[in-house]
Amino acid sequence: MLSGWPFLALLGGIVLLGSSVQRLAGIGFGLLASPGLVLLMGPVEGVALVNCAGVVIGIAGLASSWRRVRLRTMVPLVAAAALTVPLGAWLALRLPEPVLLTGCGTLITAAVLLVICGARLRAMRGRGGAVVAGAASGFMNSAAGAGGPALSVYAANAGWTAREFVPNAQFYGLAVNLMSACAKGMPQLTRPAWLLVAGTMCAGIVLGHLLAARTPERGARRITLGLALAGGVATGAKGLWLLA
């Protein structure tokens, strides 16, 4: 694991990129930041930081969009996630690091490919679909820091527009990341590292807000998914290499 200035430089860059995309698209911090933070800090600490950052980003995003949240739709999603978050946290705290790296990389890669393929599943529609999506997302968020894809698949099957998706994804991310952070605790970082995370996160949120009005939705989506796919593959490859 890196330390000193190289560690801080990579940490700041990952958080800046992830938070700006999250503010721009409603999801993306976990997809983009989780692989990099897992490689930089280890699977337990990296995912824990993703969860903590997701809480802050969710609060910031909802400050101007909370009126568009569909609370009735969110109830089954969040309730189902609450049942599977403890399982993901339990596995993350007990499995060996190579197994966790391989598992996180595989989950992220599979989830991104599912979104890229535009999966349409009958089981992901209606209230039953919300329960399935929430359960899958809660487990993946707690174990790998990547609960967004399952929510994206549900939203695609429900016919949500981008305007509808962003505030609801922020609300859901806030709730599930808060549960995940409570289940696993805070990551162990030095004071300079925490200050850097806070500063780059704020900068990323502002940058994402400025880019939101200038970036085509399709272009932002392609960049996010491409980087997330590369990160998932790299994480899984490192895990397999350590297992060999």
In the predicted model, is pLDDT for residue 26 greater than 70? no
**Tokens at 162, concatenated:** 């981008």
End-to-end CA gap in the chain: 19
CA distance 98 to 75: 35
Report pLDDT digits (tens) over 6-24.
888 999 999 998 888 776 6
When pLDDT is averaged across residues 91-120 and rounded to a whole number, the result is: 77
What is the pTM assigned to this prediction? 0.76
Question: How many residues comprise the chain?
Answer: 244
What is the pLDDT confidence band of residue 83, given thresholds at 50, 70 and 90?
Answer: very high
Residue 188 φ/ψ region, left for φ over 0, alpha for ψ in the -120 to 50 degree band, beta for the rest? beta
**Tokens at 140, concatenated:** 């993946």
Contact between 165 and 159 (Cβ < 8 Å): no
CA distance 147 to 107: 10
What is the pLDDT confidence band of residue 195, given thresholds at 50, 70 and 90?
Answer: very high
What is the pLDDT confidence band of residue 80, given thresholds at 50, 70 and 90?
Answer: very high
CA distance to 33, 72, 94, 143, 229, per residue, from 85 (Å): 19, 21, 15, 8, 23
- How many helices (H) and strands (E) would you count in the chain? 10, 0
In the predicted model, is pLDDT for residue 219 greater than 60? yes
Contact between 54 and 29 (Cβ < 8 Å): yes
Contact between 142 and 183 (Cβ < 8 Å): yes
pLDDT at site 163? 72
pLDDT mean across residues, the chain: 80
CA distance 106 to 149: 13
